[in-house]
Amino acid sequence: MKARVFVTLKNGVLDPQGKAIGHALNGLGFGAVGEVRQGKVIDIDLAESDAEKARSDLKAMCEKLLANTVIEKYEIELKA
């Protein structure tokens, strides 16, 4: 089973990297770009066929390592 985890900063947490990207895009002539928030995508191959077990394991991975849950949120996407 394949999984994709999206990790982004929670709303209200300052995102200096996103701000720099937005500023750079505006400087390149993309004036319609407003606020930019950046994050990370993590692709994981799991040797697990039970979707609920996979989701539970992925949640534990996020809570323990993949995301700093004080300032970041995460979303899990499973693909068979």
| Model pLDDT, residue 9 | 97
Q: From 55, 54, 79, 70, select the one nearest 7 (Cα to Cα).
A: 70
Domain that residue 62 falls in:
2-79
| Number of folded domains that form the chain | 1
User: Which pLDDT value is given to residue 8?
Assistant: 97
Per-residue pLDDT at 80? 75
The pLDDT score that the predictor gives to residue 18 is 97
What CATH number is associated with residue 19? 3.30.1280.10
Strand partners, 42: 5
Mean pLDDT by 10 residues, the chain (80 residues): 97 96 97 96 96 97 98 95
Q: How many angstroms separate the CA atoms of 67 and 10, rounded?
A: 11
**Residue 61: predicted pLDDT:** 98
